[in-house]
Structure 1
Amino acid sequence: MKRIEKIYEYLQDFAAKNKEAQGLTATEIADNLGFLRSNVSRELNKLYRMGKITKIAGRPVLYSISKISNIQKKSDKMKVSVEKSAFSNLIGANDSLKKQVEQAKAAVIYPPNGLHTLIVGQTGVGKTLLAHMMFEYGKEVGKFANNAPFVTFNCADYYNNPQLLISHIFGHIKGAFTGADKSAPGLIEAADEGILFLDEIHRLPPEGQEMIFYFMDTGTFNRLGETKRERTANVLIIGATTENPDSVLTKTFKRRIPNIISIPPLAQRSIKEKLEIMKVLFTEESRSIKKPVLVSADAVKAIIGSIGSGNVGQLKSNIRLLCAQAFLNSIRSDGHIKITYQMLPSNIKSGILSISQTKERDDVSFISHYIEKDLYVTPTSPAKISKEKDDEPFNLYQMVENKVNMLKREGIADELIQQIIVADVNTYVKSLYNQKDNVTLSVNDRLLKIIDADMVDFVQQIVDLVERYINLISRERFLYAFGLHLSSMFNRIKSEKNIYHLLEGTVDNNSIEFKLATKIKLMIEEKYDVTVSKSETEYFAMLLQSLKQEDNSRKIVIAVAMHGEYTASSMVNVARKLYSANKVTLLAFDMPLECRPDDMLNKIVEQLQNIDCREGVLLLADMGSLCSFGPILEERLNVPVKTLGMVTTPFVLEAIRKVDIAGISLSAVYDSLKSFTGYEHVDLNINHSDTKEKAVVTICSTGKGTAEKLQNLVIDILVDVSMNHIKVFSVGIYDMHERLTQIAHKYQIIAVVGVKNPHIDAPFIPIEQMINGEGDIILREIVGAKASVKKEKTNVVLKRFCEDGLQEMLLYLNPSKIINSLIKFIEKLEKDLDSKWDNPHKLRLVIHVGCALERMVVHNGLAYNTESAGEVDTRVFNIIKEAAKIFEKTFQIKLTDDEICYITKMV
């Protein structure tokens, strides 16, 4: 019996024998039970938080059994609350969801009536399941009666009718609204003494949230149509949302929910948990069709690797469709149904790439231990993965050939096949030898059953050589694997079979593994008088790589944060391709212009909290508020943080190169990067011949995405000034100088626009100047259109950026139809308010007003709260309201006063 149970039982016995006594002190309990007083005090506080005992204030504090506990049985309920729970069958309850389960338990048992809870997570992660488990746990510990209600309501069902929604939750009286012929109770009354689960709680209108939080505060409510709040109910409210609570719930409502449980998406959970969930789902289908299901190892990998945003719900649908197809294929068979890699749809097949490319050692180890064979489940037994070894001897060639043939039939490119094969060789070899198997036989004895004694001695010499240069995961494992492979090689040579040359080039010829493999090749040729091909040397090297002890040293984390929708992501993707450092953690954070700095900071903190960054964080930012995040990150994460601004792709590449050096400190990386100016400086002697056509070049990180948008922007400006004969080319930083040289042979480059100055004999316009509007004027001057520019001329740059931004934000309104009116609205405000705004501020206003117009269309306008948002300037409010009449005149859309209040605060 645990200490806490002994203390609880002692209090029960004392209460039964001494009914008049108020209680016992911690010291008295410690002396009687022989425990330390500090330990007893700690357990008593736990029991108090669980509602099992009560405290009687005074000197000293007395503890006694609570009334609720006296009703319960002495030990069985206690064991449930302390040891067992309804969460026992939740996959991940002791791993990735351990914190969430502890939060859920605490919410249920917190005295006197539990904690109202909000469960946050993507669609399909199990929010409803967790709510039901909280309810079952509450019944187990005596918080709810066995017949207590669990009432579910989806707020989305009535989100467009707030009155009906509120009536549904709180009930209504006769005549409260048209059609209310009689009074009806609401869900609050139906859930009395139980739980009300509000799914998609973010769909509650502000007035509904206000009524809910008033009920949370007071326990009282009124039905719709009643004027006094005289009704009471004891209800634990659990809400669920897929949205960020800060952006969809009112601050006053969110403050009433002290317990927020965030469930991670399935893609972020461990391979082990994904596999366990998949086994459960396949078992359910097996029971449904009343047949065993066999899933090939490659299909298992592909299914796990294809897990995306759909979470468990999407995984369940995928598995059900696969089982249906397999069942159809085996309709005339009485045996099991089989799911193979070949029958998977293309979107699931591609999952084998991601699972094969995982760099997490624990994941690779788990895969090698559990997914070396097929998955087999039956209707009557729990899911089980076969871990028995093949009766056939180890044959690396056969494994490679089978996998290559399968992937080639699927049309997968050779370079991807190489990646998959190398990853699978690692998995195959690591799973080959398990020291727990055949423990009565030594490795030598096991090998002597397969190969002769002379070859075993020779392999021992090779292992001795290898161990002088690299650390092996296991000497025995390498001895066993290489001995069997050597035997297979000689059998192949004897039968004159060729091997695949597709794998040539998969191992770096300058690596220690390849150099050792070359020495082994020479030893074999000298010992056995045979010729060993280069492809065989590659196989030797792959065996060495597979069984080499991995470097577990921690690295500095690099976080790249930049303004724009995809800027940081594009830069990071280029850097990853150019410098493939496997152990460097490189994160991208894109900050759209309408994103608030606080939201961006929280996003960075949240992601960094989930990874190991004890060696420090190197924050590479472009400008503005992002450059000031360092001290705050340092305080919240409790790790060193260094910040460098004006980031470029070469800068990120150099940071990766520095961080990838084993043992280097954050300060050393920071100091070395402060003076970094680039890898090279190339001058292009461009011949400005009048016979050449003119051209403008745009430069961005990749030459795609942002660079192409920049190219279209420049084209718009040139068309606007009737200079559409000037060519515009888009290039990336990676091949910038080569591309500029090629363009300069045919064209006269008159201007360069973008993120990096190539230092050629042509004016350079930074992308920042294009954003703020200065670049538009400069480019017009360069192309000789200065005289045609008028002050009242539409800002082409602003229009382009605004339209692109609205394309991402609007669902119902057509950005190209409303953009002109939005620009005119901004221009009128500038004139009437006698203000001059830069393009970024105008962009924020246009995006906000465009979204406000769409909210008007769907009747979902914002509600302005003076208490939390502050008073507005009446003069500015009236000017904006007058300017907004352009939308009434043009589109018959009228902005509400609340929406105009928000615009006033932005202005």
Structure 2
Amino acid sequence: MKRIDKIYHQLMHNFRNVTLDQLLQVQGHSAKEIAEQLQMERSNVSFELNNLVRAQKAVKIKTFPVRYVPVEIVERIFNMEWNKEKMEVEDLHQLQGNHKRIRRKISTNPLELMIGAKGSLKKAISQAKAAVFYPPHGLHMLLLGPTGSGKSLFANRIYQFAIYSDILKPGAPFITFNCADYYNNPQLLLSQLFGHKKGTFTGADEDKVGLVEQADGGILFMDEIHRLPPEGQEMLFYFIDNGTYNRLGETEHRRTSKVLFICATTENPSSVLLKTFLRRIPMTIHIPSLEERSLKERIELTTFLLGKEAERIKKNLNVHIDVYNALIHSAKFGNVGQLKSNVQLVCAHGFLNHLDKDDVVELTVRDLPDEIKQDWISSSKNIERSKMISEYVNITTIISPIVEDETTKLDDDLSFNLYHLIEEKVKNLNKEGLSKKEINQYILTDIHLHVRSFFKQRTFQNHHLLKFVDDKVIQITKELKEVAEHELNCRFGRKFIYFLSMHIDAFLKRGKQIDVLNEQETDEIRDTHVKEYQVALIFKDKIQEYFRVIVPEIEVIYLTMLIQSIKSLEENKRVGIVVAAHGNSMASSMVEVAIELLGSTPIAAVDMPLTVSPSEIIESLAAKIKQMDEGEGVLMLVDMGSLAMLESKLEEKTGVNIKTISNVTTSMVLDAVRKVNYLNLNLHAIYDSVTKDFIELWDRQPASAGKKKALVSICTTGSGTAKKLEEILTTIVNKASDEPISILTVSSMKLANRIKEIEKEYEILATVGTKDPKINAPHVSLEVLIGGEGEKVIQQAITKGGIPMSDGFTGTNIIVRELCEDSLKKYLVFLNPYHMIDMLLEWLQTIQDELGIILNNTVMIKVIMHTAFAFEREVKQNPIAFSEEEEINGQLEKVYHITERTLHPYEQKLGLKISDDEKLFIAAIFAEELQGQLF
């Protein structure tokens, strides 16, 4: 996002819900106020605000200091087109009188004010409008969408729109009914809908008015309509057809009511609702999940929810971009509902951590709840995600309170203020003499209980398991669970399905018997766990019949052990597991999946970035091995054979028995965790079992010994950017190594097949470009490469962590030089591009030392290009102006003088002196970077 766009976005945010009275009170926002919100230089903000005025996107209010208001807001409030650049305060008051005579319709449409109205909700809103206007009384609607996607809120907005459009009278009823609340009692459910006559059934002590009667002249919203029994659906569609109904127990009296039905379900309607009922609900509207919404909409939703919390706290929120990143990607299953829950948890954490600050609550990564923080930390896509998010928010974003009205009110807003409770409890616990750490722990536990009581968390979804297990296996496992519960007279949780389905899946894929137990051990299991063994025999028959396979006796023994282990609540000593893999998060990701699917186990991850030395790796592995050992030894799963060679050294260092398996995969980690947790095997038995399960996979792995080495440059088309990458990589290789390393250019569209061909002939040291081929080599994205960090990764991959061949290796200069060179050669007319790059790189090093900052490649490229063209413009005598009316503040003035002083020797070399305004622009870049690094 350009600077001008960020400033306009902030200005619009400030006035999003402003009323006329509020506008008359604040009279706009000054450049200084917006600069503080965005943490930018005031002069830069003022410059862009004046550009917005000239573009007729903002109005300048002539006060002292000058204030600004978005044109869109002025047009909305006064219901008129606006074409003036400036406005006196008196104009505002004069228009106030006219405002009372204006019937406002612009931008007050409740549906159009919804986030996503012009994006993901555009079709849904169009359908809803058509349904409301359809003569004579509108069309009944069915809202489809996952839990938490906002179906209830959308239904409420349809109701508001019907009143706004004069279809419904003001004050018309909007009745909400959740069919699931009475799912197990059809009689009571029908009584709720249609009412009942006194004495109709036990407990019917008086006549009762039903919801259909209460909703007369309005809307009845029926949530979870799939829970409505067939007899209820039949009564409902009879009412829809005829407009008449009876209360339960009535026969002689026909009642009438005019109701518009909005129904909602998370299920496939054709499979859970009667076809005769569905025909009466002609308008089906899909409400998108959070995942289906654009990044921009998810950011707007997060900002809106943060604004609601800011209103409860009565303080501004200063939100770091990493918090946005974590929040947006934390609502994996619960959609907007879970996002709301997570936002409140984060705000509650931040509020507790900043109780001593009166004006603002800062939200940083440390304020994230542990589960959200761990998810954020373990993600390998954070850099890419943050870059995308930065198009819409700043490094830190000021969120102001959103004043509640009918268009912003959320249906399920809490009836209490959580932040008042926190303050009160902190005061009480302080009086009791508890330490700050104890108080925080106590309050945080309370926060989680409060929030989760209002937001239902969805259970783990089977589709995660489907990544590793065939759907047919899951289906038979569900049947086996019912058998086991009946035979053993107990209840099993969802873990039973996970572990048993993975065990059966492994048996079917293995295709052969693996016997790691002797005859004496199997006899002992039969005699000790008689009931479980009988259940396992039933399992055997059903598996054989379902999959048409032979289940050997040893597999029955394993099933017996599995059933007993899941059933037992005793905590036994288990084999520990340590997963070690190169890269920043590969091992952590595999371990995270295993724990999420299969529960807690003694397992730990050791991520090994290329920057970590071998001695540090050994220390990390030794620490984790000691930590995971429960007395039964540790199974080490590693990505490369070289790590397997450390086994004896680690055994000597830790005194722990270790077995190592190379070429680790997520499936292998899952298999090992399952066997550790539920087969109660010793270290050697687990090692043999896992090894035999995956031996065929290893046989297919090609050896890399004796192969030529290569770096792979990947681009969308295989040309263009990749060709430039080839030049950059060639330069890096020449400086880092004297051995032959090929640079191979590949199109990302042909990547899957081409990379396999390359691996047969070459040892791929690293890949660079637009797509990660997911091979056992580091990948550097274009963003990371241009930013400067990627060169170190490539150098490490080439030298295996050693010292590069060239003592003068300066990686960042390679990228900066290569990327600037093409543009300067193309556009500089009077000046030598090669000389300019050398000179400006030298100058940048000087100014970084003077200011005490480190500029990344992106900023360096920006400064070099701007400064080179500033000198060129001086030759043409066509400099650009900084601003015609702004003052220079203290920090910018200081940076300006350093910029001027350090540039002076190079101005003398060129015989050119660039203007003060050009230097101010350059200094502003440094000042903004300096401020960012200070915070």
TM-score of the two chains, using structure 2 as the length reference? 0.35
TM-score of the two chains, using structure 1 as the length reference? 0.36
